[in-house]
Amino acid sequence: MRAALAAITDAGMPGVFAEVRDGRATWRGASGVADVATGRPMRPDFRQRVGSITKTFVSTALLQLVGEGRLSLDAPLRRYLPALAPDGVTVRMLLSHTSGISDYDHVLFATLEGIEKYRHTTVRPLELARIGLSQPPTNPPGGPYAYSNTNFVLAGLLLERLTGRPAAREISRRILRPLGLRDTYFPGTATRIEGPHSLGYVPWVDATLRDFSVYNMSWAWMAGELVSTTADLNRFYRALLGGRLLRPAELAQMRRTVPVDPTQPDGMRYGLALYSLPLPGVLGWGHDGVVLGYQTMSLHSADGRRQVTVALNASHYGIPGQPDPIAAAMIQFLILALGGTAGTAAARSGAPSSWRPLTPAPGRTALGVPGSGALAR
């Protein structure tokens, strides 16, 4: 495990840390640096912005409401949010990204100036929702999968409408506190990560590494605001997949998936903020998250007993169409951690040649091709 984790930093990632669990056994490791200027080492207990993994927490809280008879997955969203819901969109469509509602982040982060502007700018959830709803739909409601953060801003507003409490407070009440996730929290408009953490790097257009660890995450809200640790995420997903957070009926609904790519029905599939990723010899369930400067992947066996959560401290570094040794090392680490078939056997079995997060990276279009060699060792 140590060698596989070090291969990620050997390939160019500044720093990475992970926790792997197999039943009662736990392994934690870290490689590389948390600060490229000072050489401060990465540590396995760091906190991290985990981006769209937030969506699984939101979906879990809403599915608890389904189990309590307070929400119907196949009811029109208009029943609950009449002023915001487009015709034909159901609650299930929000949580499975099949609503056809467009994203908003390409509007906020259309330029480099926008990426810098929102570092210290607060955006309210209603504004995010209205930006997304003002964009042309990606497809008719109930059509193919199309990832959109607007779906989970609306899901957060739905949670608030049904409970009468702020979404962050409700998720803390229902999930964070009962599970003892003491290092997991919603930062709101606070720009700095509380507690020990790494800097988060983006290769900037001038070929330098720019730190984005200080950022107002209101732009992501219930689509990606959460801060957590690898240990807390593993604890959450084990409780979820092991049936501690949802009744069997609601967990089964969460696992009802649609293909991410309709041309590859046996590839990655998305449920209700829980996806399945086939790897050689193992099927992983979980989610990933990408925000400026940070990437996190959390994958688990179907019963939650075999687990891996990995955190990286740089994003937006890949050049489309070019080899990505970091991604290649990452996929091998995930396969090894989950007990799959790594190495040449994986290649023969049709394993993915590289790892790519499902979550679209905010500001990717504005950044274009990052500075050549910015992550090279």
Measured CA to CA, the distance from residue 237 to residue 20 in angstroms comes to: 12
3-state secondary structure of 294: strand
Choice among 31, 52, 96, 148 that is catalytic: 52
Count helices and strands (H / E) in the chain.
14, 12
Q: Is 52 an annotated catalytic residue?
A: yes
DSSP 79-97: GT-TTTPPTT-BHHHHHHT
For residue 345, give the DSSP letter: H
CA neighbor of 30 nearest in space, from 39, 21, 42, 38: 42
Burial-class residue 215 by CB neighbours within 10 Å (0-12, 13-18, 19+). buried
* Residue 289 backbone phi and psi in degrees, to 5: -150, 140
CA neighbor of 103 nearest in space, from 141, 134, 124: 134
CA neighbor of 235 nearest in space, from 227, 246, 244, 226: 244
* Residue 357 backbone phi and psi in degrees, to 5: -65, 145
Q: CB-side exposure of 196: number of CA atoms within 13 Å? A: 9
List CB contacts of 130: < 8 A, sequence separation 6 or more: 84
Measured CA to CA, the distance from residue 271 to residue 358 in angstroms comes to: 13
Measured CA to CA, the distance from residue 272 to residue 60 in angstroms comes to: 9
Burial-class residue 359 by CB neighbours within 10 Å (0-12, 13-18, 19+). buried
Instruction: Decide the pairing of beta strands 294-300 and 282-291.
Output: antiparallel
Active-site residues, by number, are 52
